[in-house]
Each structure stands twice: as structure tokens, then as C-alpha cells.
A and B are shown apart, each in its own frame.
Chain A
Amino acid sequence: MVMLSRKWLKLLLGALGFYAGAASADYSLLNMTQGVTETSRAVYDLHMIIFWVCVVIGIVVFGAMIYSIINHRKSKGFKAAQFHESTTMEIVWTVIPIVILVSMAIPATKVLLAMEDTSDADMTIKVTGIQWKWKYDYIDGEAEGVSFVSSLHPDHNEARLLGVDADLERFEDTYLLEVDNPLVVPTGQKIRFLLTAADVIHAWWVPELGWKKDAIPGFINEGWTYIEEPGVYRGQCAELCGKDHGFMPIVVVAKSPSDYKAWVAEQKGAAALADASAGREWTKDELMVKGEAVYKTNCAACHLPNGAGVPPAFPALAGSPIAIGDAAAHIDMVMNGKSGTAMAAYKGILNDVDMAAVITYERNAWGNSASVVQPAEIKAKR
């Protein structure tokens, strides 16, 4: 038996060596991030305190067990004692854990109260989870009125399809953690988030901010952050939300106040431009080019890039009666979605031009041939 244990011990040490080898690649991958906010550092500290408490208790308990296993064995001729009760001991090991737990509960309560205090925010951003993307609305402050949808970056979206032999290394550490439109926030401001969802429950999580919170349809949750340093912070949806749950990342770009001002100006300029272009007549070619891009980001995950879909859950668009039939029904489907299915209402997600473009694209791609839809028609239906 001793021989056997030695052999296993060697194997075990080998496995540990394997662990160490893999771990040395990036030590940060072993532990929670300290993050970039006061909150995230407080959470990290709590995590480390409770971790060390567990380690110390573990050493005592496992130490006693291992000592006993080594020494109190029949093969060494050890005779069993017959004690089986000790009220003193029972009290000791009830009281000591209670003391440890109370001393743990005090700092935890302090951090929790601070995390839940969303008062005195400098600005508010509404976050809406949608299968499978995020929508951001700037409610007040400099960027009031800015609103956009943030989806998995198209390059990543192509690389993650089943059976694609994609070179993932080129994305370095951002594979599946890159979006088309990141959430941009200023440093040095208390930002309040209002979280909700359009369809199912999602959860908004950026580890470096130190928390996650569920986004629940019909309800509004609150959270807040105060980022000190400019940087790019990545996270993803943390609540199972259907087929593409693993493919709805979050990217937060924190900019210095002056850079943030410039970004806001750019956004407002772009919005004005989009408004103006929605008024004019678009050619079919313009709509098709724009429509293909919109389709890839918003529709291809379910209806597939070639429009074949995955029936019956996700119907084919190529040759579909709606896509080649009356334009009004097609517009209604895209604008209002279909309840009880994963088909979302895109009214609040796409602007007039994007919606007109994607509908036109669906009506004229993959052998479909039907009418062109102009942005003005969408505007009229809102």
C-alpha cells in the first residue's frame, strides 16, 4: 500500500507541475481582478479576507485529519480510544465559527451598503438587455439623448460560427469580448446605471467595475460606478439568456473628461447627419450595402448569413412569404417583433435608415426580389 501511495503521490505532483506551468502564462488568471474602482478594490479585499479565513480553517481541520490518518491507524497497532462526547468541545467549535462569521459580516455589510447607494450620481445611463445585444441610452448630462446598440463585433461573430476554422489568436485577449459600439463614459464622475431588458433576463457584468446586476424585463435595477483611470474594460452577459448568451459582450471605454466631450460632440454630429439622411430618398444600391452590414450584426446570428435560418425556431428569410410579400407586413414584423419567440421588436434598436436598409436587403438578397423600402416609410410608421 505504501508503494502504491508513493506512485500516486508522484503522479499528483506531476499534475501540480502541469498546473504551475499553465498558470505561469498569466498569474492574473488565477484570482479575481482588483478592478479599477474603489468598489472593485473593496470587493477584492473582502474576497481575499474570506479566502484566507478559509485557508486557515482548512489548515487546522485538514491538518488534524491528516495527522490522525497517519498516526491513528490499525496497521501501526494504534488502539481505538472510546470517547464519544464532549460538550465543551461542541461549544468551542460552535462559538469560534460564530465569532469569525460576525467579524466577517461587519466589513461585508459596510461594502454592501456603499455599493447599493446610487444617490448623488453625476450622470445616468440606461442599459437595456436584448437577445443578444445591449442598448445604451444616455439619460442626462452632456450626452443626453445619445443612444445606440452595442453588439458582438462582426469579425468575432463570423469567427464563432460552428465549424469555422477561424484563427482566434489574431484577436489576442479580446475574442468574443469586442463590440461594434462600445459604451463610452467619462472618468471622475459617479455614473448611475438603470438596467432593464426587452425580452428575457440578462445580467450586465464588467469584472473590473466590481459588480454585476440582472437586467429584468419590466423592471428597472440600479447600479453605479466611478472610474478613476481612462481605459478599456471588458465583460459580458452573465445570465443565461438563450442561444447566443455567450456572444453578447460589454465593452466600457472610460475617457478623460475632455476626450469624452469630443466623443459626445462626434455622436451628436453623427445623429444629426443620420436624421438628415433619413429624410432623403435612398437608392437601392445604397440600401443594399448598408442593409447587409446591419443584417450581419443584428439578424445573421439566427437567420444565418445566407438567410436559410434554423427552422422551425428561426425561420428562413430566403423565399419567405413575408420577405417577398407585402412590405407592410415585413416592416411590422421587424419593428414589433413576434411575441413568444426570440424575434425581438427592432423599433427601439434600429434607426429609420438602418431599418429601411435591412428590410430592403432581406427583400432583395439570396434570390429574393421584392420592393425597396425607404427610410421615410419607416418614419411614417413609428
Chain B
Amino acid sequence: MSTATATHDGDHHDHGPAKGLMRWITTTNHKDIGTLYLLFALIMFFIGGAMALVIRAELFQPGMQVVDPQFFNSMTTVHALLMIFGAVMPAFTGLANWLIPMQIGAPDMALPRMNNFSFWILPFAFTLLLSTFFMSGGGPAGGWTLYPPLSLQMGDGFPFMIFAIHLAGISSIMGSINVIVTILNMRAPGMTLMKMPLFVWTWLITAYLLIATMPVLAGAVTMLLTDKFAGTSFFSAAGGGDPVMYQHIFWFFGHPEVYILILPAFGIISAIVPTFARKPLFGYSSMVYATASIAFLSFIVWAHHMFTVGMPVVGELFFMYATMMIAVPTGVKIFNWVSTMWKGSMTFETPMLFAIGFIMMFTIGGFSGLMLAIAPADFQYHDTYFVVAHFHYVLVTGAVYSIMAAAYFWLPKWTGNMYDEKLGRIHFWISTISVNVLFFPQHFLGLAGMPRRIPDYAVQFADWNMISSIGGFVFGLSQLMFVWIIFKTIRGGEKATDEVWEGAKGLEWTLSSPPPYHSFNVAPEVK
């Protein structure tokens, strides 16, 4: 009798998850929702990646072999939409869900039911988006930026695509509100703002960026919707509107969005590098201030995406100078990471390899970004493969690499099992070599005069395109290794200690591996 009571008491204090499918549908647990987000991001990463492979297959050699030009355009468009809104953003939200409560000493996120809702919107949003491929007129093919008047030429799928973007935006805003409320209200006693791990800091700033810009995007696409169906002329000169106005509104969202995709990555790298250098992060407070500066600058540089639209020269000068300024806080971050490594006692497990890969290749993307900031030179670079190379260096070897680094870094904590170190390293080296074969030649193509978003090209571009496509297929297929490694780690493996890594610092490493269902039922004391 007494044993039964004891068991009951135990259940009451630390009840586990519900069983079966309903656990995942009804869950309000930050870890379950984090897992759902990450799984969803992985699925979208592969669908978007398959589309990239269709693009690279068509571009493998000159001439039209695989798809017609309209479908090719929808591949470039939907590849971007899926990777940005379906893969990278949900992956970061998944990491936020898993890590923020554990890093600030909280039991869960502040708004668990909203957390559930903001995830479960996403599968519907992206099913809606992908369903447009089966409608009359096909999927969106006007570029992910949806510039009118071209985007208005889309067929029956147009309103479905707009609705999908609205849903994804609502999900992001709810996720951001949750992050802000959690961080501001649920930190353990003693954890002042300037003691928070950088991942928490970068996510706090990212969440504000999201809340500030997502409604702007929603407004822009709603105006597209009324232009198409309600007879308004926001973006049509014939009715007194202006197509360039759309671009201003879009990029007022779009540029902060770029930092939404990279600031959490900065937080991840700032956690991994000190761990494997066994040395505290260099310049913690300057990292925080640099992140805040980048976030501020991101709101006043948007028109550098539009140097060729015919702005007044004063406008071009302003946006050129402001854009060049971003190199300063970004440089501070790179220098701080290098100084953290300097005179450390480094080991090179897979998360560290991905982090170092991130720093080097993100810097290459930063360099081409600096080149693109020079407005007169941008008149040549703009809308060429040089730009494609630039943003893939910052997004694939930047954002995606940071997500992979994070997965390897925290997977042992989440599952309680070590991943297969040998396979992880092989995954890193194959990815890193192939991703450079894939994207580095695209710099040459752009400089030599190949515009982006074309399905066929002059024969002098053939060599580099073929090399790039080979790199693309190797990179794409090698990501199956990543799935296998994750699967294997979840199933079992060498047991991880609570600390997992010798140099790991922070509250999440004080929990057991795997951590309890509710992270901290008793708030830890931070000194």
C-alpha cells in the first residue's frame, strides 16, 4: 500500500510524456516541441535540397534536358522559400525550444500551449505551399522575393502561396513572443542579462527582429493579394502605384531576415568554440554589443538589395555606407572567435570541426558581401551567380553548418548517447569539400557574366557549371549520412556523461543526459 502511494507521489511530481501519437500532437513540453521543429526542418531541408538538385541537374550542361523553364523557375523559387522559412528558421526555433529553458535554468517555455500551436501551424503552411504545384498554373515561379508584377502572373496557386506565407509568419511571431517572455521572466535567480549564454542573447535579439519584420512581410504579401483580386493598385503604375515600393517593403523585412537566419548561429558558435578550446569566450560583452549593433544596422541597409532599381544617387550612397558599416561588428565577432581559439587547448571533435568550418566559410561569404556593398561594383555583381555564391556561403556554410554543429554538440545531452565520432568527422569532411566544389566556382560564373535564375546558358559557362553540379550532388547525398548518424545516436551508443564535453560550461551540462522531462523543477542558483 505504502509503495503504491509513493509511486503515485513520484508520478505526480515528475509525470512523463503521454504515450503514442497523441504525445506529439498535444504536447506542451519544450523538448518534445523542439524535437518536432528539428524533425520538420530536416524534412524540409531534404525537400528543398531535392529541388536544388533538379536545378543543378538542369544546369549540368548547356541546352535544355531535364525540365521546362517555367518549372525550373518554380524550383528556384520554392527551394528558397522552403530552405529559409521551412528549414533554417524552424531549426533555430527547435534549438531555442530545447536549449533556452535548459540554459537559463527554467522548467519549460513560458507559454507552452502557444508553443504547441506555433509548431503545428507549420506542417499545414508548407503542405499548402507545396500543393500549389498540383494546381493550374503550377507552383510559384517569380522568385522567393515575389516581386510584382511578375508574381501576380502566377496561376490558381497564388492565394494559397500567400496564405502559406501568412501562416509561417504567424508561427514565427508566436515562437518569438514565447522566446522573449521566457528569457525575460524565467531566468534562474542570479542569472542577470549579462550572464546569459550567447545563444540566449542572440535568440532574444532575433526574436525582436522577427516581431518587428514579420508583420511587414505580411503587409506586403497582403497588398499583392488585393492587387490581384480586389482591384487595388499598390504596385501597379497604371493605377498610381509603384512596383519598386514593394521591393522597399519586402527588403525592409528581407534584410533583418538575413540576420534572423544568422544571429542564432553566432550564439551556437560562441558556445562551441570555448568548449573545445577549453578557454572562456573572448570579449563576451563586445559579442553582445556587436550582436545588438548588427541587429540595429540590419534595419537601415535594406536598399542594398536594390542598387539597380534606379534610386537617387544620395540614396545609393547612404545604403552603400551603411552596408559597409556592418563589416565592423561582424569583424569583431570573427576576431573574438579567433582570439578564443588562440592559446586554447584545442581538440577537434565534430562540433568543433563544423564551428571552425563555419568561421572560415562564413568569413568568405562576408568578404563577398563586402564586395557587394560597393555600389558601383554591385552594378556588375547584382543578380549574377556571384550573389548566389555569396548567400550560399553565408547560409549553407554559415547557418546550416551552425545547425549541424549544434546537433552534434547537444545531441549527446538530448539523447544520453554519444554520436559516432568517426562518422561525424567523415560527414564534416565530405560536406566541406563538396560544398566548396559546389559554391566556389559560382563566384567565377557570376564574374564572367552568368545571371542567376536562368535554366540554360552560353557554352563558355559549361565547365564551371558541371563542376558545381558535381559538388552539389555529392553535398546533397552526403547529408543522408547526417540523418543516419542522428538515427543511430537516438537508437543507442556509448552513454554520455552529464557534462558530455570536457570543457563544457553552462547550466544545461549540470542536468542529467538525457535531461528530465521538465528541465529545472527547482531553479538553480547562478553565482
Residues of A in contact with B (beta carbons under 8 Å apart): 1, 4, 8, 11-12, 15, 18-19, 22-23, 25-26, 28-33, 42-43, 46-47, 50-51, 53-54, 57-58, 61-62, 64-65, 68-69, 72-75, 78-86, 89-90, 93-94, 97-98, 101, 104-105, 108-109, 111-113, 115-116, 159-164, 166, 168-169, 171-177, 195, 199-201, 203, 205, 207, 210-214, 216-219, 221-222, 235-247, 310, 312-313, 340-342
User: Which residues of the other chain, B, contact A113 by a CB distance below 8 angstroms?
Assistant: 313
Asked whether any CB of chain A lies closer than 8 Å to the CB of B521, the reply is: no
- Complex interface bits, B215-240 against A, C-beta within 8 A gives 1, otherwise 0: 00000000000000000000011100
* A73-B345, A93-B335 known; A50 vs B150 contact (CB < 8 Å): no
Selected contact of B149 from candidates A1, A160, A200, CB within 8 Å:
A200
Asked whether any CB of chain A lies closer than 8 Å to the CB of B506, the reply is: no
User: Which residues of the other chain, B, contact A216 by a CB distance below 8 angstroms?
Assistant: 237, 243-244, 309-310
User: Which residues of the other chain, B, contact A47 by a CB distance below 8 angstroms?
Assistant: 371, 374, 377, 380
* A61-B334, A65-B338, A161-B64 known; A211 vs B380 contact (CB < 8 Å): yes
A12 to B436, CA, bound (A): 10
A175, B458: Cβ atoms under 8 Å?
Answer: yes
B243, A218: Cβ atoms under 8 Å?
Answer: yes
Residues of B in contact with A (beta carbons under 8 Å apart): 62-65, 67-70, 73, 136-138, 141-143, 147, 149-150, 152-153, 155, 236-238, 242-244, 277-284, 286, 308-310, 313, 316-317, 320-321, 324-325, 327-328, 331-332, 334-335, 338-348, 356, 359-360, 363-364, 367-368, 370-371, 374-377, 379-380, 382-384, 425, 429, 433, 437, 441, 444, 447-449, 451, 453-461, 463-464, 467
- How many Å from the CB of A83 to the closest CB on chain B? 7
Q: Which residue of B lies closest to A172 (CB)?
A: B459
A213 to B456, CA, bound (A): 22
Selected contact of B155 from candidates A199, A221, A246, A312, CB within 8 Å:
A312
Selected contact of A32 from candidates B331, B447, B456, CB within 8 Å:
B447
Residue of B143, B242, B380, B453 with most chain A CB atoms under a 10 A cut-off: B380
A12 to B382, CA, bound (A): 31
Q: Which residue of A lies closest to B278 (CB)?
A: A80
Q: Which residue of B lies closest to A165 (CB)?
A: B63
* A211-B379, A218-B236 known; A65 vs B360 contact (CB < 8 Å): yes
A101 to B147, CA, bound (A): 32
A105, B324: Cβ atoms under 8 Å?
Answer: yes
- How many Å from the CB of A92 to the closest CB on chain B? 9
22 A-B contacts (beta carbon < 8 Å): A19-B467, A30-B448, A33-B449, A43-B380, A68-B341, A72-B345, A73-B348, A74-B278, A81-B343, A86-B339, A89-B339, A94-B332, A105-B324, A111-B376, A164-B64, A199-B149, A205-B383, A217-B149, A218-B242, A219-B242, A222-B310, A342-B153
User: Which residues of the other chain, A, contact B334 by a CB distance below 8 angstroms?
Assistant: 61
A341, B153: Cβ atoms under 8 Å?
Answer: yes
Q: Which residue of A lies closest to B467 (CB)?
A: A22
A109 to B319, CA, bound (A): 12
A15, B375: Cβ atoms under 8 Å?
Answer: no
A245, B454: Cβ atoms under 8 Å?
Answer: yes
* A169-B459, A312-B136 known; A104 vs B283 contact (CB < 8 Å): no
A203, B448: Cβ atoms under 8 Å?
Answer: no
Q: Which residue of A lies closest to B154 (CB)?
A: A313
- How many Å from the CB of A87 to the closest CB on chain B? 9
A171 to B136, CA, bound (A): 36
- How many Å from the CB of A41 to the closest CB on chain B? 12
User: Which residues of the other chain, A, contact B458 by a CB distance below 8 angstroms?
Assistant: 173-177
User: Which residues of the other chain, A, contact B348 by a CB distance below 8 angstroms?
Assistant: 1, 69, 73
* A72-B343, A116-B313, A161-B64 known; A25 vs B463 contact (CB < 8 Å): yes
Q: Which residue of A lies closest to B425 (CB)?
A: A4
A72, B449: Cβ atoms under 8 Å?
Answer: no
A12, B281: Cβ atoms under 8 Å?
Answer: no
Main secondary structure of the interface of B (DSSP, over half): helix
Q: Which residue of B lies closest to A215 (CB)?
A: B310
Selected contact of B62 from candidates A29, A175, A212, CB within 8 Å:
A175
B150, A200: Cβ atoms under 8 Å?
Answer: yes
A264 to B321, CA, bound (A): 44
User: Which residues of the other chain, B, contact A73 by a CB distance below 8 angstroms?
Assistant: 345-348
Selected contact of B63 from candidates A54, A62, A166, CB within 8 Å:
A166
Selected contact of A101 from candidates B327, B340, B360, B454, CB within 8 Å:
B327
User: Which residues of the other chain, A, contact B346 by a CB distance below 8 angstroms?
Assistant: 68-69, 72-74, 78
3 smallest beta-carbon distances between A and B, as pairs: A218-B237, A246-B454, A221-B310
Q: Which residue of A lies closest to B347 (CB)?
A: A74
B448, A241: Cβ atoms under 8 Å?
Answer: no
A112 to B379, CA, bound (A): 10
A205, B451: Cβ atoms under 8 Å?
Answer: yes
Selected contact of B380 from candidates A1, A32, A68, CB within 8 Å:
A32
B456, A246: Cβ atoms under 8 Å?
Answer: yes
Residue of B65, B150, B320 with most chain A CB atoms under a 10 A cut-off: B150
- How many Å from the CB of B414 to the closest CB on chain A? 25
- How many Å from the CB of A97 to the closest CB on chain B? 5
A310 to B335, CA, bound (A): 55
Selected contact of A245 from candidates B73, B278, B327, CB within 8 Å:
B73
B449, A235: Cβ atoms under 8 Å?
Answer: yes
A312 to B153, CA, bound (A): 13
B459, A168: Cβ atoms under 8 Å?
Answer: yes
A15, B342: Cβ atoms under 8 Å?
Answer: no
A93 to B342, CA, bound (A): 16
Extra 9 A-B pairs, beta carbons < 8 Å, given A80-B277, A222-B310:
A61-B335, A109-B320, A201-B147, A210-B380, A219-B242, A242-B73, A244-B69, A245-B453, A341-B153
A163, B464: Cβ atoms under 8 Å?
Answer: no
User: Which residues of the other chain, B, contact A86 by a CB distance below 8 angstroms?
Assistant: 282-283, 339
User: Which residues of the other chain, A, contact B153 by a CB distance below 8 angstroms?
Assistant: 200, 242, 340-342
A43 to B371, CA, bound (A): 11
A72 to B344, CA, bound (A): 6
* A240-B73, A240-B150, A245-B453 known; A78 vs B380 contact (CB < 8 Å): no
B150, A201: Cβ atoms under 8 Å?
Answer: yes
Selected contact of A50 from candidates B149, B341, B377, CB within 8 Å:
B377
A200 to B335, CA, bound (A): 44
User: Which residues of the other chain, A, contact B437 by a CB distance below 8 angstroms?
Assistant: 15
B455, A246: Cβ atoms under 8 Å?
Answer: yes
Residue of B334, B364, B458 with most chain A CB atoms under a 10 A cut-off: B458
A163 to B379, CA, bound (A): 35
